[in-house]
Structure 1
Amino acid sequence: MIAAMGATVAFDGFGPGAQVPLMGSDGQTGATQALASAAYRDSPLSTIQEADNDLYKTTVKEGRWGLFRPDLGEAFSRAVQVRVLGGARKALIQSFGADPQPVVEHCLAATHIRRQRDIKLTLVTFVCGVLFLPGLLLWLGVIQLRRLAAGSENRRAGAAGTALLLGAGLVAAIVLIKLPFDGILPNYLRAMIVAPVLGWFLARRICERYAVDLRERWTGLLSGGGVGPHVPKSAPQDPGEKSAEELRVNLEKLSAEQQSNIVFYAGAKGVLGLGTRWGSWTLAEELVPQAGREIHAFRAWDVIRKIHDELTLLERGSLKTGFPKPTVKHWIISPVGEGADEVTRPEGDSIVHYQVKPHEIQRICNDQQFGAGNRHYLGVQFTLWDGNLVLTMMVTVTSLLHTLRIEVTGHALGPVHGLFTTKPKAKTKEVSKTVRFWETREIQQPLLETDDIVRLAVRAPLTWYPPVLEFLGGKMVLPEPFGLRHVWAGPLWKNRFMADDAIRMATPVLRAVHAATVKMLDDHGVDTERFTNRSMFLGGAVQDPGPKKADVYDA
């Protein structure tokens, strides 16, 4: 496995380096598609804050004018693209249990679909709005006043807003009739009133057609199928296509960073991307030689190699119970502050494409066990529930003076928040029946309301310069340090089956680690009686483990 980590593959401009299989690369389509579905959603932007957990909060920045506000899909796609593909972006946290590249590609595809819609809306806005700008401004003013009134908690104010729109329509009809029919100015005034209304009808048809397409893609992703993301110009056809080449390089960089064997520990937040630490078991005893023998010298790396070999055989149990095949990988953990808003990936001769070279991993394992510096951990990971549950056991070996210490810690990353797994619902309204007024029925409402049509139409001409649009309408700011998977992870311990899986997984892993350790020590002339007794005690305690906040010390 370590030899494979040193292999490199060359690419133009940037290569992903060592082709190390991502921990948990199998069975993670559910979490990936749930996150990708956010790019197609037309929910209010504020709903994203429902997915926040105790450790990560999404910020929604309000704009200057509510008519330019984005919906969830627009803001999510924009925020993810800027954060993941931006030229000056910060380092990303790996998305264990999900694949970030398809999520980003769906964001690009959703943006492309909306831009195709905005091209048509811009043409309609120009012909029916800009050429008759005074009338457009008058109608926008009426709609804005209606929106402010409708948003009030006072029912009378909401009714007044509807009456305001009806009154404006009545006044417009009177003006059309009373104006003289001769002359350019009267006819322009008529057109000034009629053209924005005609443009609204055309914009409605355009918006509804694209809204149906976006909702079908949203539904398809959550149903396990759907249309794959179509990202135009993602592959350059000639050397002159700089934007396509830049996109290709950034996507390759994203894949390479996802496969990095460097992770970060951030205090109470745990190992970023792996979830908080819920359990810890320590086997620490003095190294005493066997009677009549001397201890054959060994180092921490020798113990880790034996444990690695034993963990790869976990699926070969006595009973055929479908125990999943784990992914075993060597990790370098770098400490960062709990409140850090960014992480910096180490660089140097010993790192190639975000991968620490094998000889450096071995050196860190043997030498950096005390004091400042990065630490080495051996991780065994299970990706379950279609990527919605990521269970990781981390093993570290340290030796100080005559004491050998083997520590096993359990980390758990919960499911993607339920907000991302909800399918679109038809808009309905409950009304009383005509005859049997004491009974009610549901009637179908239009997919898009008047305010939605106007919002999309006024946003369309500005989508080509997003900073201005974000200034006017607002935007979403992603939590940091950012990774697509862990910042929107829901609670694990409230799901009984998932909690059971986490607790049951600890026992076979812990016993495999102890068995490999005792065997290795016995081969090197160490008296293993104390280690065996301690292992038996831990083996009994792990049969009834309870989740704890092991990263929070009560001191």
Structure 2
Amino acid sequence: MSVPGGIPSGIEDLFGPQVPLAGEEGQKATYALASAAYRDSKVTEILKADNEWHKSTVKPGRKLTTLFEPNLGEAFSQAVIDRMLGVGREPLIQSFGIEPQVVVEHCLAANGIRRRRDSALRIVMVLCGLLFLPGLLVWLLVFQLRRIIARSEDRRTGALGNVLLVAVGALAVLFLLKIPFSGFWGWYARAAVVAPVAGWFWAKRICENTARDLRERWDALLSGGGIGAKIPETVPTGPQETAAEKLRQALARLSAEQQSNSVFYAGPKGILGMGTRWGSWQLAEELVPADPTREIHPFRAWDVIRAIHDQLRMLERGPLNTGGFPTPSIRHWIVTPIAEGATAVSRPKGTDVEAFQVKPHAIQEICNRQQFGSGDRHYLGVQWVLWDGQLVLTMLITVTVLHHTLRIEVTGHALGPVHGLFTSKPEPKEKTVQKSVRFWETRTVKLPLVDADEVVRLSARALFTWYPPLLNWLGGQLVLPEPFGLRHAWADQPWRHRFMADDALRAATPVLRVVHAAALRVLKENGVDIEKFGARSASLSAQVQEVSPHKADVYDA
């Protein structure tokens, strides 16, 4: 009898759950990343969230079309959708501690809200802009120049933007009063000046309603409301809706890849998705028979790993009722080495892989055979997702047997919280000014949710949002760091947070002792003299109590 995925039900527990459940544990980090899809700040803000190893970039558009630049939410949503659901996309890195499909669904929902807004804005642009194209081009040129001037670091130069707008407005009024044309062209010239302005007021109401909706969703996600992403375009209602079916299949593929048991080791970057290696403890001694007159009973590395796996399942149990460990996720991982600067990964393929999962018999073969030289390696991992998905702790165990030496290595990996940028709530748009009479006092003035420049930017972009490649060429786009995974791309180190650091350090000692105890039991049962192993284990047990995090993958030769 088999379970979905082709794994015999009798050994399902041995290989761990085939569907990693982030569940409630990962909601905070998941919603923090999803909130980026609804944000209206500058796209360059996301560069502040880059960490030491993974750098995103903002690719600029044309110098004279900065009016088409995207904001953070627009750029993030489009970049994530293209990268994670695009046709022929490169493999993704698993996002431990979050649910990437939820983030992608919110990106789709945010794009859907903007698409409905842009449809309304296009009607405004056609009726009040394209029909009066000369006036529209003049006003767009004014706002483009104003946008360029406003970016000047010199305050006096930057203030010229407001002066330019007032001057053009005065000229427009003068033109209406002293128009040099008569007849049809005179009335058309008047309409070409007035219609874009009237369209701006109409567009402002549309933009404000959408901005209010996006900000409410942004705030709800970070307040724990758990607002759902409405994406009806992913549910095909008939055989003719091929686009919806393709989108549904892309989301299903994303979920399947998230469940893969194949990960990648990128040198000092650590295991992508699990974080850098901060500690390593090795027990290596000679295999000597306990009875000199008898040989050691033959066993393999897999026998030791299996015993360790069974023992690790008891980690949440203890002699005292003091809380202790939550139930960890225990899985067998196939680790593929890649270069530190690699920009793409390639997942294992062939008959030994099904739905991104390396099959059990192949895992055993790698564990027993591939211990030296090139090729993938096997690790047994015990993982905790803590702090609502903000901290991912992973302890990896590998067993190797070379000649007469058995080595048991335990390494600690930690992935810290998502950058604080993603956990910031929307702030009301307001400014503090001096009172006119009591000039020594100040008051707070509420600003419009969408200012004049933003209305013009959104209206101009609306004409091209139906074809994103052209819009990216005009206004620029966000380029995600590669190899890309939602979680590790914007993760901080946990060592700046005292309690997170404590959790990482405290997990090492009990895991190390459980691993050693299970391994020693297997060795003893197979006729191995465990005296030296026991002495070395006791030494490591004392050493790990003084543990401190360090860059274990940076070898100072």
Asked if Structure 1 and Structure 2 have the same fold, meaning a TM-score greater than 0.5 normalized by the shorter chain, the answer is: yes
Aligned to 2:311: 310
Relative to 1, partners in 2 of residues 1:173 and 1:284: Cα closer, same or farther, differing over 3 Å?
Answer: same
Q: Distance in 1 between matches of 2:435 and 2:510?
A: 62
Aligned to 1:221: 221
Aligned to 1:343: 345
Q: After TM superposition, give the deviation of residue 239 of structure 1 in Å.
A: 1.5
Does the 8 Å CA contact 1:24/1:382 hold for their aligned counterparts? no
Letter in 1 for 2:255: S
TM-score normalized with structure 2 length: 0.96
Q: After TM superposition, give the deviation of residue 225 of structure 1 in Å.
A: 1.2
Does the 8 Å CA contact 1:121/1:457 hold for their aligned counterparts? yes
Q: Distance in 2 between matches of 1:118 and 1:19?
A: 44
Letter in 2 for 1:50: K
Does the 8 Å CA contact 1:267/1:337 hold for their aligned counterparts? yes
Relative to 1, partners in 2 of residues 1:187 and 1:474: Cα closer, same or farther, differing over 3 Å?
Answer: same
Aligned to 1:31: 29
Letter in 1 for 2:362: E
Aligned to 2:283: 283
Q: Distance in 2 between matches of 1:312 and 1:439?
A: 65
Q: After TM superposition, give the deviation of residue 143 of structure 1 in Å.
A: 1.5
Aligned to 1:14: none
Q: After TM superposition, give the deviation of residue 91 of structure 1 in Å.
A: 0.3
Aligned to 1:115: 115
Q: Distance in 2 between matches of 1:176 and 1:167?
A: 14
**Equivalent pairs: percent with the same residue?**
61
Aligned to 2:56: 58
Q: After TM superposition, give the deviation of residue 182 of structure 1 in Å.
A: 5.7
Q: Distance in 2 between matches of 1:318 and 1:434?
A: 71
Q: Distance in 1 between matches of 2:88 and 2:8?
A: 25
Q: Root-mean-square deviation (CA), in Å? A: 1.7
Q: After TM superposition, give the deviation of residue 26 of structure 1 in Å.
A: 5.1
SS in 2 for 1:324: coil
Does the 8 Å CA contact 1:514/1:535 hold for their aligned counterparts? yes
Relative to 1, partners in 2 of residues 1:24 and 1:158: Cα closer, same or farther, differing over 3 Å?
Answer: closer
SS in 1 for 2:380: strand
Q: Distance in 2 between matches of 1:182 and 1:256?
A: 68
Q: Distance in 1 between matches of 2:213 and 2:364?
A: 52
Does the 8 Å CA contact 2:22/2:99 hold for their aligned counterparts? no
Letter in 2 for 1:212: R
Q: After TM superposition, give the deviation of residue 450 of structure 1 in Å.
A: 1.0
Aligned to 2:153: 153
Aligned to 2:259: 259
Aligned to 1:463: 465
Aligned to 1:479: 481
SS in 2 for 1:334: strand
Aligned to 1:140: 140
Q: Distance in 2 between matches of 1:255 and 1:321?
A: 36
Which segments of 5 or more consecutive residues in structure 1 lack a partner in the other structure?
Answer: 10-17
SS in 2 for 1:35: helix
Letter in 1 for 2:91: A
Q: Distance in 1 between matches of 2:211 and 2:4?
A: 47
SS in 2 for 1:260: coil
Aligned to 1:402: 404
Relative to 1, partners in 2 of residues 1:535 and 1:529: Cα closer, same or farther, differing over 3 Å?
Answer: same
Aligned to 1:242: 242
Letter in 1 for 2:285: E
Give deviations 1:511-550, integer Å, cap 9, x for gaps: 0000101111111111111111111110011111011111
Q: Distance in 2 between matches of 1:499 and 1:269?
A: 19
Following TM superposition, where does structure 1 have runs of at least 4 consecutive aligned residues deviating by more than 4 angstroms? 2-5, 23-26
Which segments of 5 or more consecutive residues in structure 2 lack a partner in the other structure?
Answer: 10-15
Q: Distance in 1 between matches of 2:387 and 2:257?
A: 24
SS in 2 for 1:179: coil
Aligned to 2:525: 523
Letter in 2 for 1:319: L
Which sits farther off after the overlay, 219-228 or 60-69? Answer: 219-228
Match for 1:369 among 364, 371, 377?
A: 371
Letter in 1 for 2:50: D
SS in 2 for 1:383: strand
Letter in 2 for 1:431: V
Does the 8 Å CA contact 2:305/2:380 hold for their aligned counterparts? yes
Relative to 1, partners in 2 of residues 1:25 and 1:332: Cα closer, same or farther, differing over 3 Å?
Answer: farther
Aligned to 1:319: 320
Q: How many residues align?
A: 546
Match for 1:545 among 525, 547, 550?
A: 547
SS in 1 for 2:204: helix
Q: After TM superposition, give the deviation of residue 59 of structure 1 in Å.
A: 0.8
Q: Distance in 2 between matches of 1:433 and 1:148?
A: 31
Q: Distance in 2 between matches of 1:156 and 1:27?
A: 51
Aligned to 2:13: none
Relative to 1, partners in 2 of residues 1:515 and 1:530: Cα closer, same or farther, differing over 3 Å?
Answer: same
Aligned to 2:270: 270
SS in 1 for 2:496: coil
Letter in 2 for 1:468: L
Q: After TM superposition, give the deviation of residue 153 of structure 1 in Å.
A: 2.2
Give deviations 1:184-212, integer Å, cap 9, x for gaps: 11111111100000000001000000000
Letter in 1 for 2:279: G
Q: Distance in 2 between matches of 1:180 and 1:485?
A: 62
Relative to 1, partners in 2 of residues 1:414 and 1:360: Cα closer, same or farther, differing over 3 Å?
Answer: same
SS in 2 for 1:193: helix
Does the 8 Å CA contact 2:332/2:380 hold for their aligned counterparts? yes
